[in-house]
Amino acid sequence: MTTGEAVPVNNFIRSIINEDLEKNKNNGKVATRFPPEPNGYLHIGHSKSICLNFGIARDYQGTCNLRFDDTNPAKEDIEYVDSIKEDVKWLGFDWSNLHFASDYFDQLYDYAVQMIKTGKAYVDSLSAEEIREYRGTLTKPGKDSPYRNRSVEENLDLFERMKAGEFEEGAHILRAKIDMASGNINMRDPAIYRIKKAHHHRTGDKWCIYPMYDYTHCISDAIEGITHSLCTLEFEDHRPLYDWVLDELKTESHPQQIEFARLNLTYTVLSKRKLLELVKNNYVNGWSDPRMPTIAGFRRRGYTPASIRNFCEIIGVAKAHSTVELGVLEHCLREDLNKNADRVMVVLRPLKVIIDNYPEDQVEEFDADNNPEDPAMGNRKVPFSKVLYIEKDDFQEEPPKGFFRLAPGREVRLKHTYYIKCENFVKDEQTGEITELHCTYDPESRGGGTPDGRKVKGTLHWVSAQHALKAEVRLYDHLFTRTNPDDKDIADYKDVLNPNSLETINDAMVEPSLAEAPIGKGYQFMRQGYFCVDSQDSKPGNLVFNRSVSLKDSWAKEKVKA
Ligand code: ATP
Ligand code: MG
């Protein structure tokens, strides 16, 4: 763990594990797993599950496997497998073992045969629609399929032929024989195998029948000797099925399924189906678009692994549904970058300033501290010369009350260097735009004060025009305009996409030290926010920066109020 990170707090899952350890259940072993389906990129919700599962393994000297739940070949892809591995590693975790549910296809098949032999599974030949009808509803019990009492021999024969590819998709399915009148719909003879003539990214064309998720998941857990199978609340109603399958199969190990509430975030959708839609229909620029709530998106945006881990600690793990403010996540990033990011000067919207009394060809280099809160982060040189840029909105021709920056006749401090005073300005008469300021500097103010002790109220950041590098800067805002894009009154979440979620500034001016800014390093652009080099589009000589997060911390303020 990096210093400054939140210490894992107790939660109800850790309490269960503590009790189990006291009773020496599972011989004192703790084994968890993170089981993504490789049908999309991981998102911030997954990091909650990752931090929980890998964090428990770390703190209890246990194990945590990464297991791909790859039972739906139509939707899965090796690109997703690779991205998931990369994201888990980037978050700072490593798996004890890497598994694929598809590695268990032979065993899963054998178990299905075993269930047929013990009379606990049968081949059904109703159509999908009939099966739906027969299933009943929450208030109405289901009824038995006419095929439910096929003999073991007939079931074995049909299942074998399903595997051999003799039937079309949908002609037959294998179902567990449980109880069509159960109050729990998941127990009404759930499907455990279906025919699917699809190429699988790992097993190729070996199989044309694939096991269903519920059946696969519990058996995979048991095969791997998982002790605590942690999943999100929507699986609570599936737990009786999880236990039923393992009891019927008399597996050596019987993991305990424990459910927790999934993460929901304001201004965010976390459904893989929706994220895929945003990518496929080009509402965003791919899975790693910095506006996406994917781990790849956050990484490119400039989030640090520590900030995300910290966030997952802060929000805790509970049974109750809740929605977390996006501001909490942003707060975690600011906290990390405030400590670790170098301060640099970048002018986003440049206004030219000419220091009339400064020698034409003179260049002075000033020492600038990288982080005023941490001298160990060192200094760098910033060049100063006659022509500078400051931020357009740091000048006002007619300053309102409370505006302490530059105005005609007004004096301010330029960070790290001198006091300057605005003597006059040039205005484009047609557009009304201020195009140039003429100032004088006070050589005696070098270092931030003057012998006469006069005070100035404003300190501005600046860059030297001849030394600055032009850069593109991308300012991001929420991807959605509504706190809950899935709200009932919104017909389609895409209707509330924020048209201003990306603002591109093409001619920002950055101080020369940023020429070699490495990918993955966070910077504080003084008075602007935290930024990083864009990992995909930035090139030497054509720098592109992403705003990771602004400086304003609305959440911290709310905390103080509360
Ligand atoms: P789907 O099953 O619809 O494709 P999923 O979000 O459940 O989507 P999985 O790949 O099955 O995706 O998820 C892997 C693990 O991450 C599961 O254990 C799941 O419970 C957990 N997980 C998914 N979304 C969240 C979330 N928002 N908060 C916490 N955990 C989550
Ligand atoms: Mg899932």
pTM score: 0.94
Of all protein residues, the one whose alpha carbon is nearest to atom 27 of ligand 1 is 45
pLDDT in tens, 7-66: 677 899 999 999 999 999 999 999 999 999 999 999 999 999 999 999 999 999 999 999
Nearest to 421 by CA among 507, 490, 355, 481: 355
Dump pLDDT digits (tens) for 313-324. Answer: 999 999 999 999
CB count in 10 Å sphere of residue 230: 22
- Per-residue pLDDT at 449: 87
Q: Can you tell me the distance from the alpha carbon of 433 to that of 350, in angstroms, rounded to the nearest whole number? A: 12
The C-alpha atoms of residue 155 and residue 250 are separated, in whole angstroms, by 21
Pairing label, strands 342-344, 364-369: unpaired
Residue 262 annotated among the catalytic residues of the structure: yes
Mean pLDDT, the chain, as a whole number? Answer: 96
* CA 36 to ligand 1: nearest atom: 10
pLDDT of 149-182, one tens digit each?
A: 999 999 999 999 999 999 999 999 999 999 999 9
Model pLDDT, residue 3: 46
For 506-546, write each residue's pLDDT tens digit.
Answer: 999 999 999 999 998 999 999 999 999 999 999 999 999 99
Region 314-341 average pLDDT: 96
Verify whether ligand 1 is closer than 6 Å to residue 263 (CB atom): yes
Active site residue 163: no
The catalytic position among 37, 169, 423, 436 is 37
Distance between CA atoms of 273 and 339, rounded to whole angstroms?
A: 37
pLDDT tens by residue, 362-404 = 999 999 999 998 999 999 999 999 999 999 999 999 999 999 9
Instruction: Dig out the tokens for 235 from the structure.
Output: 């699986």
Active site annotation includes 33: no
